[in-house]
Every structure is written in structure tokens, then in C-alpha cells.
Structure 1
Amino acid sequence: MKTIRTALLAFTALAGTALLPALQPTIAAAQDAVEIGAAARDMLGLTLYSNGSAVVSERRGASLPGGEATLTVSGLPETLQRDSLSVAVEGGAVRAQRFSLERLDLQTLLRRHVGKTIRWITVDPQTGERRASEAELLSVDGGTAVLLDGLVQINPPGYPAFVTVPADLAEQGRMTLHVSSAEAGDESTERKVALRYLAGGLDWQASYTASLSQDGTEMTFQGSAIISNRSGMSFDDASVALVAGEVNRESAPVMRSAVPMKAMAMESADSGAAADESSLHDYHKYELHDRINVPNNEEIRIPLTSGKTVAVERLYRLLPNSVHHVRRSPGGSTILRPEVLLSFENTEKDGLGLPLPAGLVRVYDDGIPTTTLLGEDRVGHLAVGQEVELSLGKTFDITAERKQTAFRRIGNQGEFEAANEITLKNAKSTPAKVEVVEALYGEWRILEESVKHVPKNSGEAVWTIDVPANGEAVLTYRYSVRP
């Protein structure tokens, strides 16, 4: 904490803050401004969301005199959403707050140095030697006008350089508070200053790894949280909570330009989960066991769930064929490959039974000495008891030949009848169960079928076909459609 001698500006100039009637002109006298930076924190909490934002709760200590005082708070992130900031001072009231909207960039530095002497750097194109000359900056309107080498020049070759940076631009993330308390006198008292605000550039995502057993009946399931910080500031010794759920936001998080990030992993000592899950109204919250450092421009991986052995079922599904492929002249065929799916229930009975946030799932076959990626799929938020399907890709050994065998127009209202034949061939040494899903539209009816179908919804019919090992099975069906 340090004290800076300053002149308090008239509060009619405070940006975005109305002058309160109780503020008297005598307040604008010279007085000491107390500055508290990030080092003054004695509490820091981060609640992260998977939409690129976080709620930051922090508490700092400040030694403030009684009566009226000016407090400068530094060490705030560039991505702080200013209209979300709330400040409470122990034993006092915040009467006004001010943020500087200027950024430390070239145009701001040029504007601030108009009428002053700067350095102008030129580079010899032949030798690459740099020469620094003193120049008076005359104007930046419509171009950079400088008095250089005794001549007024507009946008001369070279570039400007500055010896100093204005104090209020030297450090990003500062605000000034006017604080009043009922106590009078110059004696300072240690007070707690509580801050809460939304900040952009802080994000978290869930990532899962699953290892499938050799017989394909179970998998070992692990989850991690990946925390990233692009806020422009590090958060040290923070209590961290992760919120899973679709939280509505009407305001967009403040973001910085993307920068390269370093990655690091934090594993718990027992390789178990490093977070406690709990319900939070209509969402779920994962609180990390220990306080952690969240460095700027870094990515941290933390265990969410320890290894769980989950019972799975392998499915093969032939996805719907486009209705636009109905031909008035039957003939020809299409070779398709069913999708490979792993199905399981998020229940304790099947080995899981945990609310899981949305994320990417990678499924491996942990062979020796090589490991194979079997596929990856993205899942939404999974409640306890919810059924889960992971799509791994297209099967190699099972094929489907789809052929339209008949078409007949009925009446003048666009109604027709058609028939299809789907031949499933299985080159595997084990039998396979294949779901055949067909897309239909309008008012449709199945008139004849070799295997009983199940309506999936108003636009799909599903047949489950048992295909023998090293064999084939044929599905035929005839249907009518009224658009």
C-alpha cells in the first residue's frame, strides 16, 4: 500500500458518475490519495463460466482517514466489465468512482505529447543504422506534424519514441473512488474494501478421456477441467469454482486479443477428483479443493472425476437417407456404412452417476505398445440418469446396400407409394445389431415390412436388424406418403 500526493479533481468531471448533492466544493481540496494494488488482497475468489467470463470477488485492506478520502484501486484486469462493479468499504460509503477510458497505445501517447518534445527515430535504408532526433510534436489531426531539423514536417519518415509514459497510463486497470465515513479526523484506520465484478477472458471447458476394454463392454472414464486465462492479469492464491449450465447473459464479456498460451497440468496427489460437485439452484458447481494460481496467458488442467469403470453397449446405426432421393424410376443402389456408437447410462449402477458438464470425449483403445484413438464426440450437459451416446465414426466391416425397388403415384395430390430394400453385410466374426433409421415426411404409413418398425418421431422410422457373423440380413419395406 502506498500514499500518493495528488490534487482531487472536481467531482463534476467524474466520468459516468453523477455529482451527489451532499458533495461540497470544499471536498476538492488537495489531500492524500491512498492506493491499494493486488498485493493488498487478503481474499480472492473466481467463479468461472464456460462462456468466457467469470465473477471475481476480492477483498483488500486499506488504511483510510476519517471523513472524506480518495482511494485508488489498481491491479484490476483490462477485461473488467465496468457496469458490473460493486464496491463496499467497511465503515464508509462510496460516493463516486472514476475509470480512465484511455488505453496505453500509440494514438493516446501522441495526443498526450502534443506541444512537447519527443524523439523521432529514423533508419538508414542502406546500413540499417537508427538515428534519434529531438522533435516538437505540433499536431496529430490529419497526420503527425512535427518540428524536426528546423522544419515543420507532416508524417516524416521514421517513427516516434517517448522518454516517459503519463502516470495514469503506465498501469492498466485503475479506478479512483471517493469514500466518506461518519468518523472525523486525520488518523487512519484499517478498513476492508470488498470488490465484485465480471471479467472476460477467463474460461473453462470440460474434457473427458475414456479407455475402452478389449471386449468393448466397459470403459474407464475420466474427466478434467481446462481453465484458461486471457484477461491480461494473473490471479494468485484464488479460490476457484466452476459453474456448469447455460447461464443467460444479455451483455457480452469484454475480451482481449488472442495471445499464445502456455499449458500446465495440476494433478491431485491421489489421482482422484480435485473438485467437489454440488447443486447451485438450476446449475451445478464444482469447487476446487485448494486455492490455486491462475496465471495470465496460461491454461491449467485439473481433475474433475477420478477413473470410473462404466458399462457400455456398442451400437451400429444406419443414419437416415435424404427424402429427396426418392426416385420415380427405381433402380441403382447406394453403399452406406453404419455409424459406430457407444451407449451408456449416467447411473451409479452402471459405474458413473455424476452430473457431468458438457465437453469433448475422446475414446481410446489402450493397446500395448501402441494406443489407438477410436473416435471423439462432444456431449452436452449430462444429468444423473441420462442416457448417453458417443459417436465414434463409421464401421469398416459392416456395410449396407440401399436400393429403391418400387414407386407409384397415387391421385393428384402428390401422394405416392415406394418400396426400399436394404441389405446389411457383416464381415465380423461376431453378430451385430444394426439400427436402420429412415427419414419420412408428411403423412406417412408403413404398408409392408419384413421387420417391425418403431416410430422414432413424426419424421423417422427405426428398424433393428440382427446381422449374423460373416453373414447378411435384408430389410424390405413399402410405404405411402401424403405431403
Structure 2
Amino acid sequence: MAFSRHCEELQATRQSRAARYALDCFATLAMTMILLFPALAAAQSVVTSDGPDAVEVSIYRDNSRGDYGKLNLKYLQGFALISETRRVTLPAGAATIRFEGVASGIDPASALVTGIGVEEKNQDARLLTQRGLLDHFTGQRVTLRRTDPATGETSEESATIRSGSDRLIVQTVAGFEAVACTGLNQTLVFDRAPEELSAKPTLSVNIGNQPGGEYTLTLTYLAQNFDWQANYVAEFNEDASAIDLLGWMTMASGDATSFIDANTNAIAGTVFRDQNYANTVFAEGRAPVRYQCWPAGTTGAFQGYRYQQRTYALRYRGGAVSPPPPPPPPPAPMAMEMAAADSVMVTAQRRAEQEDLGDLKLYRIPFPTTVAANSQKQVAFLRKQAVPGEIVYMLEIFPRYSGGGLDRIFRMQNKREEGLGEPMPSGQFAFFQQALGLRQLVGEDGMSDKAVGEEIELALGGADNVTHEIETSPKTGKNWQAQTLTIRNANAEPVTIEAEFQNETDFTYRKFKRRTFERDGKTVWRTTVPANDEVELRYRVYGPDDG
């Protein structure tokens, strides 16, 4: 027994010595690492830049809209190039810089920081928004507050969020319920704001060892959910031989971040860009919440989906977290034009200035402007007086089809000697003319990008008082037949018409009895039809020679 206890004591002594030896070795190693690598002895510093000192926003159009597509404020598919200047004070050594207040639609892969070396960058995508709150509290209890629209009385009950990705489903004592689909005023109330949710979109970058001090950094990146388009307001003079032209630049932002007093540009032209949908504002964690409901008010046959989209404030006690309001409807360009004459002149004097950017055109707003979150802004960029042009009644004629009625178009030349001569980005035209002392709308059309020197044709609508008739003569030949085109003008003033004859592979128009000319492979007859009168043109249609 004594020998056994002696062995146990000896073993315990050896284990104790081994433990002290291991501890001494670990302490020695730790001290050595601290001495050799002092940067490891302290946690890496975090420096926060809460906003830019200066910012420039260049907005690129959504090319998928085409030349005639209008802005869809609920689904902006253009993008912006944003360049921010920020001043930061850094401690010596490695550090993390948090750039708060970047665009919520930032593409992190495009971010470039100049002024210091960057080792790593990461977007902090968990924001204090509807989406962030619903994702965080899914499976947890919240308060469901209801307001009776008839009585105004408010009631509250406990609810558990079960789903919030596409349809907000909560569970109460009564069962499961789709919030925002009942027609009642409903609000979710949260007891706190999670600390891990950031109130501002943030981009973090890690930098290596540096001496520290004051740094001026430039952060440049691409961001989704922006767009712009041109709107033109044209007013005819009394005889419709010229127009006064005012061009508005409508810029829209669907981003959650506002850029205060920004140097703002709009870029015209086609820019190819590989769309990476994982980096758009509709990517996971940043998509806005849209409530979708089944059709209500019917128990009959299903008539198709009817989506109800509503925005409900999400609040937590002690503060409010409300999503930004939906963008307002686009203001009509004509409303801007109908403002007082002096205010239009002031806006026009400070209009956007056009510059060349390679094959693109850059329109620079010459004064600081705020690109507000979920908003749009109109700035004048073109103003021309008495631009000459003409209204022409167009008619297309085909060998096997006489075409429809005549269409009125307005034609002008984009030349400096013709009073214009400016690069004109694609957009919408609205034409007005004074009648009975009031400005009346006489036509609308869309226009593609027009360079200096190009001809511009814009449709004004159909022609009710100018008609045509094609009569086939009994006089025929081996492979031709004679026809007569008659144009009748019921207007109180003369009109200019242009009839375009479209030749086909087996059919051609020849033997015109009046002067014609060729344009874009078509034979064109241009003439003036006097008021309350008619003119006619005889010609032959030649078909296949059967031998």
C-alpha cells in the first residue's frame, strides 16, 4: 500500500511539473509573439466615416427601355457612378474603415478606394429596414396593432412572424393571417431595434499597416436603381411653321440614400454593361418588401391575380423605423412649361451643360443639387426659340396594300443654321398650340437619340380632314395596270402631303405623271393640296412578266 501511494504521489508531482512547464512555455511563446508582433497585442481599430464631404453622381439611362419607353419609377433599371470624397483620421497600424451612407444599391465589386491601400472590402448589407426587421424577427413575437377605419379604435395583440419574404404571414391566437391583405390599417410593433442592423448602408474596407494621420480618400462605385430620361415641350407658332422648344432632364432615384449638394450629371448614349443580378438592389437581403394578396371581394370564378401593394410603417418602441415613401407620380412636363414665364427663364438660364464623353454625351448640372432618396428631379437642359420645321401629311402605298390613312408628322433639321444643332437624347415630345387663347395638346411622340445634322420626324397623329382614294383604271398592259391617287383636303388652309410608294421584288411603280424623287428606296410624290380642294396623281403598277 505504501509503495502504491508513493507511485501515485510521484506521478502527481510529475504531472504538476509538466503542467507548469507547459504553462511556462505558453507564456514564453505569447510574450515572444507580443514582442515580435505588437500589432497582434491589440484589436484592429475601427474608424467610421459617417458621410461624404463631397459627392458626384453620374446617372446612366436604362437602355432596355428603348427609345420610346417611359420611366418606370417603381422599377428603375438604370445605374449611377458615384464618387465620394471623405476625410478620415486613422491610427497607426492596420484598421477597418466603415463608409456609412453609401448607396443602398451599391455594387461592392465595383468599389474603388484611392488615397490608401485596401486589402479587403465588404458590404454590410443588414440594414434597419422593413426587410431587415422582418428577417431578424421571423419566428419571434411582435405586437400586431390594428385600427378600425369606422371607429378609429386601436387594438393590439401578440403575434409571431412566420414568413416575410414575399407574403407577410403572422400567427395569432386565432390562427394564421396574411397581414396587409385584410383591408384594415395594420402595423407591426417591435420592442427593440437589433444592434446588428445598421441604420445606414455601409461599406467596410480593411487596410494594412500605415503610419496613421489625416487622409483624404475617394470612394468610387456603381449603384443600381437610378434612371433618367429627356422630356421635350414644343409649342407651335400661329401657322405651325416653327416651334419654341424646351428640354427637361428628368432624373429619378429609387435608392434609400440621399446625396446632398451633389455634382450631378446625366449620361446619354448606349453603354454595354454585364448585368450581375446578384449585386442589384433586388438581391437577397436588400429587396424591398412587397405584399401580394389573392383577389378579394368575390367568391365566384377566379379572374386572375390582383396584387395589392401597400407600405406599412414598422416601428419599435422608443423610436421609429419607417421605409422611405414611394416615389411620387412623374410630374407632367407641360406643367413645368406652364409655370410663370420668368421662372422658366431663370431655370433655363441655369440649365444643364452638354459636354463630350467619348461617343457619349454628358449633361452637367452647373450648380449643386440634392439627389434625394426615392425621388425625381427635373432640370432644364435645352431651350431654343423659333426652330423652323413643317407639318407634313404622310401616306404609305404598297402594291398589294393601299396602306392606312394619312398621318401628320412634324419634321425639322437638327442643324445650327436651322436654329437647333444640339445633341438630343432620346425622350418624349409633347406638342402644344394656342387655340382660343388656351394652350392645347396637339400630339405626343417618342424620339431616339439624335446627333447634330440628323433629320427629326415626330408623329402628331392621324389626319381626319385629309383623305385619299386609289382608283384602278381599266387601262392595262401585258404586266401593268394604271392607277390614280386622289388626295382631298377639307381643311381651311393648304396642306403639304408626301406619298411614299414602296416597291417590292415583283412589283414596281413607274410612269408617274407628276414629278417625284427617291428617298430610302421609295418613290416619293410631294405636293401641296389647296384648302377645300383635291389633287390627283396617275401612275402605273408593274407586276411579274408572265411572258
Q: Shorter chain as normaliser: what TM range?
A: 0.7 to 0.9
**1:450–1:252: structure 2 CA closer, same or farther, 3 Å change rule?**
farther
Tell me which of 61, 80, 93 is aligned to 1:67.
93
Residue pairs, 1:119-130, within 5 angstroms:
119=142, 121=144, 130=155
Q: Match for residue 532 of structure 2?
A: 470
Q: Match for residue 470 of structure 2?
A: 402
Q: Match for residue 379 of structure 2?
A: 302
In 2, Cα distance between equivalents of 1:348 and 1:255? 43
Shift of 1:36: 1.1
In 2, Cα distance between equivalents of 1:156 and 1:390? 53
Is there any run of 5+ residues in structure 2 with no aligned partner, and where? 1-36, 63-77, 180-186, 283-287, 289-324, 337-342
Tell me which of 260, 264, 268 is aligned to 2:327.
260
In 1, Cα distance between equivalents of 2:154 and 2:138? 27
Q: Match for residue 53 of structure 1?
A: 79
In 2, Cα distance between equivalents of 1:349 and 1:121? 68
* Aligned-partner SS, 1:224: strand
Structure 1 counterpart of 2:96, which letter?
T
Matched, 1:440 2:516: no
* Aligned-partner SS, 1:231: coil
Q: Match for residue 455 of structure 2?
A: 387
In 2, Cα distance between equivalents of 1:157 and 1:378? 42
Structure 2 counterpart of 1:469, which letter?
A
Residue pairs, 1:366-381, within 5 angstroms:
366-367=434-435, 369-381=437-449
Shift of 1:429: 4.0
TM-score, with structure 2 as normaliser? 0.68
Matched, 1:286 2:363: yes
In 2, Cα distance between equivalents of 1:260 and 1:111? 24
**1:105–1:155: structure 2 CA closer, same or farther, 3 Å change rule?**
farther
Matched, 1:43 2:71: no
**1:341–1:110: structure 2 CA closer, same or farther, 3 Å change rule?**
closer
Tell me which of 331, 351, 354 is aligned to 2:419.
351
The answer to whether the 8 A contact 1:263-1:298 is kept is no
TM-score, with structure 1 as normaliser? 0.76
In 1, Cα distance between equivalents of 2:228 and 2:142? 45
Tell me which of 192, 196, 203 is aligned to 2:227.
203
Q: Deviations over 1:144-164 (max 9, x none)?
A: 999999xxx996999975322
Shift of 1:260: 2.9
Q: Match for residue 183 of structure 2?
A: none
Tell me which of 393, 396, 412 is aligned to 1:316.
393
Structure 2 counterpart of 1:325, which letter?
Y
Q: Match for residue 487 of structure 2?
A: 424
**1:441–1:406: structure 2 CA closer, same or farther, 3 Å change rule?**
farther
In 1, Cα distance between equivalents of 2:532 and 2:110? 65
Q: Which moved more, 1:280-289 or 1:460-469?
A: 460-469
Q: Match for residue 3 of structure 1?
A: none
Matched, 1:179 2:256: no
Shift of 1:196: 0.8
In 2, Cα distance between equivalents of 1:28 and 1:382? 64
In 2, Cα distance between equivalents of 1:356 and 1:138? 52
Structure 1 counterpart of 2:467, which letter?
T
State the structure with more CA Rg: 2
In 1, Cα distance between equivalents of 2:389 and 2:261? 40
In 2, Cα distance between equivalents of 1:147 and 1:297? 32
Q: Match for residue 249 of structure 2?
A: 225
**1:273–1:366: structure 2 CA closer, same or farther, 3 Å change rule?**
farther
**1:273–1:404: structure 2 CA closer, same or farther, 3 Å change rule?**
farther
Tell me which of 166, 172, 195 is aligned to 1:167.
195
Q: Match for residue 239 of structure 2?
A: 215
In 2, Cα distance between equivalents of 1:213 and 1:139? 61
Is there any run of 5+ residues in structure 1 with no aligned partner, and where? 1-23, 327-333, 411-415
* Aligned-partner SS, 1:289: coil
In 2, Cα distance between equivalents of 1:242 and 1:44? 15
Q: Which moved more, 1:101-110 or 1:470-479?
A: 101-110
The answer to whether the 8 A contact 1:118-1:163 is kept is no
The answer to whether the 8 A contact 1:272-1:305 is kept is no
**1:105–1:45: structure 2 CA closer, same or farther, 3 Å change rule?**
closer
In 1, Cα distance between equivalents of 2:169 and 2:106? 36
More strand per residue: 1
Shift of 1:262: 6.4
The answer to whether the 8 A contact 1:122-1:157 is kept is no
The answer to whether the 8 A contact 2:170-2:178 is kept is no
In 2, Cα distance between equivalents of 1:462 and 1:148? 75
The answer to whether the 8 A contact 2:506-2:543 is kept is yes
Q: Deviations over 1:28-86 (max 9, x none)?
A: 95343111122xx2211011122221110111111111110111111122211222111
Tell me which of 257, 267, 279 is aligned to 1:243.
267
The answer to whether the 8 A contact 1:27-1:68 is kept is no
CA RMSD of aligned residues (A): 4.0
In 2, Cα distance between equivalents of 1:404 and 1:283? 51
* Aligned-partner SS, 1:93: coil
Residue pairs, 1:146-157, within 5 angstroms:
none
The answer to whether the 8 A contact 2:494-2:530 is kept is yes
**1:83–1:417: structure 2 CA closer, same or farther, 3 Å change rule?**
farther
Of structures 1 and 2, the one scoring higher in RCO (CA 8 A, sep 6+) is: 2
Shift of 1:206: 1.1
Shift of 1:381: 1.7
**1:217–1:178: structure 2 CA closer, same or farther, 3 Å change rule?**
same
Structure 2 counterpart of 1:423, which letter?
T
The answer to whether the 8 A contact 2:347-2:380 is kept is no
Shift of 1:447: 4.0
In 1, Cα distance between equivalents of 2:500 and 2:108? 52
In 1, Cα distance between equivalents of 2:112 and 2:397? 54
Aligned identity (percent) is 24
Q: Deviations over 1:321-369 (max 9, x none)?
A: 5x5538xxxxxxx9x5422222221122221222221221212113453
Q: Which moved more, 1:376-385 or 1:250-259?
A: 250-259
